[in-house]
Amino acid sequence: MGRERHLRRKLTLRAHGEQVVFVKRKQERIEHVWMKAFLWALYLPPYPDLRVEVSIGAKYKPDVVAMDALRGQPRFWGEAGHVSADKIAHLVQQYPRTHFALGKWATALDPFIDLVADAMDGVSRSAPFDLIRFPDDSAERFLDAKGHITMARDALDSHRLGGGGLTPGSRPRSP
C-alpha cells in the first residue's frame, strides 16, 4: 500500500451510462480517488451535470460539483476525506441552498455529524448536508474490473442533516 500513494495514474470509471477520468496524483491516496468517484456515482442521478475537480471561482474547490447556471452557485458540492471545520463552516454559510455531501473512508461518522451540526447551528439553510461512510472494502464491493461503479445508497452508513431528515439507509446518531 505504501507504493500505492506514490504512483500517478488515471482511472476511467463509469456509472449510470456516463464516464469520467479520475487522476490519482502523486501523493494522493487511492482511497481519496475512489471516494470522489463514489460520490460522483451516488449523486449522478439527481445531478446529471456533476463534474469532478473543477474550479468554480470560489475560495474552495469542490471534489464533485453541479452548478446552477442561473444563480452561478453550486447546487451540489461533494467533498472526499479530510475537510476542516473552518471549511465546513464557510461552505454552509456561503451556500445555504447547496446540497453538500462529505464522504469518509472507513471512519465513524459521529464526530463529523457533531462538527457539521455545529457549523449549521444558527444558519438558515434550505438544502441538506449528507455524511457518508465508505467501508474499507468499497473498491472491491462497488467497482468491477471494467471500471463500472455499482452501489446502492442503503449499502452505506450515512446521515443527513437539514433539508428533510435522514436519507434512506441512514442510521440515526447514537445517544
Cβ neighbours of residue 123 under 8 Å, at least 6 residues apart?
A: 92, 93, 96
Residue 85 lies in a domain: yes
| Cα–Cα distance measured from residue 162 to residue 160, given in angstroms and rounded to the nearest whole number | 7
What is the C-alpha to C-alpha distance for residues 80 and 114, in angstroms, rounded to an integer? Answer: 18
What's the DSSP call for residue 148?
B
Q: Is the pTM of this model over 0.85?
A: yes
In a domain, 169, yes or no: no
- Report the CATH number at residue 86: 3.10.640.10
78 lies in some domain: yes
The boundaries of the domain holding residue 118 are: 30-138+156-161
The pLDDT tens digits of the residues spanning 72-104 come to: 999 999 999 999 999 999 999 999 999 999 999
Amino acid at 61: K
